[in-house]
Amino acid sequence: MRVAAFSSACPGRGNEDFATWGDGVAVLLDGAGMPSTLRPPCIHGTAWFARSLGAALSARASLDPSLREALASAIAQTAALHRDTCAVDDPLSPSATLAVVRVREDVVEWLVLGDCTLVLERGRSVEAISDDRLARVAQSERAAMEAAPPGSAERLQLHAQLVRAERALRNRPGGYWVAAAAPQAAEAAVYGACPREEVTRAALLTDGATRLVTPFALTNWAGCLDILEEQGPERMIERVRDAELRDASLSRWPRSKLHDDATVIYIHL
């Protein structure tokens, strides 16, 4: 198995993504950032949360419980690290979306929670596995924000309103599920498995990296794997950055912000 990875922070900000791999386990997390106008009830920050949860999840998954059990345990462990100092159950507390792949001698397993994406090549078929429940909530708030001029005070205010509306529905029925402080979120994750012999290539991508496919539509998922194989993860993310700059007005490809953290783990079995 060959693994290559690259991570690029949103220009001008710290990187809130996290990626690690080893012992046949690849773990990718996308920490949920917030507008600067909102004050999170955690002294540690989103990047710390993503690192702590990602390291715990990687260690647990390597011990070979079910991936859902590994995630539930990692969420509980991470919440315990700062429950005494931070309001971990507050909707504005740090959270993350994630994708995990575990490769064993005869099986490949995966777990996806939130808008990270797993791309799998099985024979001649390529499929993208993600969880779009977040995109289904607070749609009126999202539309209002995207209609406001980029970089304006109005847009910043509307972005904060969107985040508050989204977070009010976090980890509850009828809303969406992410890794925060509730271990039961693991039960809502998308799980799958298939014989190892069926899988030739796989990629785990945060939503900042998937932009090349959606919404930019500059390639498809099979093309994404080809770029990663032939040019590598760093070049793929450079292509994302180039496209973002060509649409600095956010008019061709509406999105909440010009840039985002972008991280890829590529696996060739």
Confidence band of 61 (pLDDT split at 50, 70, 90): very high
Confidence band of 2 (pLDDT split at 50, 70, 90): very high
Closest by Cα among 196, 202, 124, 136 to 166: 136
Residue 34: the pLDDT is: 83
d(CA 167, CA 91): 5
Residue 64: the pLDDT is: 84
What pLDDT, in 10s, does the model give residues 23-32?
Answer: 999 999 999 9
What pLDDT, in 10s, does the model give residues 120-156?
Answer: 999 889 999 999 998 899 999 999 998 899 889 999 8
On the question of pLDDT at 37 being above 90, the answer is: no
Residue 35: the pLDDT is: 83
d(CA 164, CA 93): 11
**Mean pLDDT (whole number) for 245-252:** 93
When the pLDDT of each residue in the chain is averaged and rounded to a whole number, the result is 95
Q: Which DSSP state fits 115? A: S
**Domains of the chain, with CATH numbers?**
2-138+169-268 (3.60.40.10)
Angle between helices 221-230 and 233-246 (to 10 degrees): 120
Both tokens of residue 207? 């939503």
- State yes or no: cis peptide before 215, omega within 30 of 0: yes
Residue 12: the pLDDT is: 87
Closest by Cα among 15, 9, 20, 7 to 61: 20
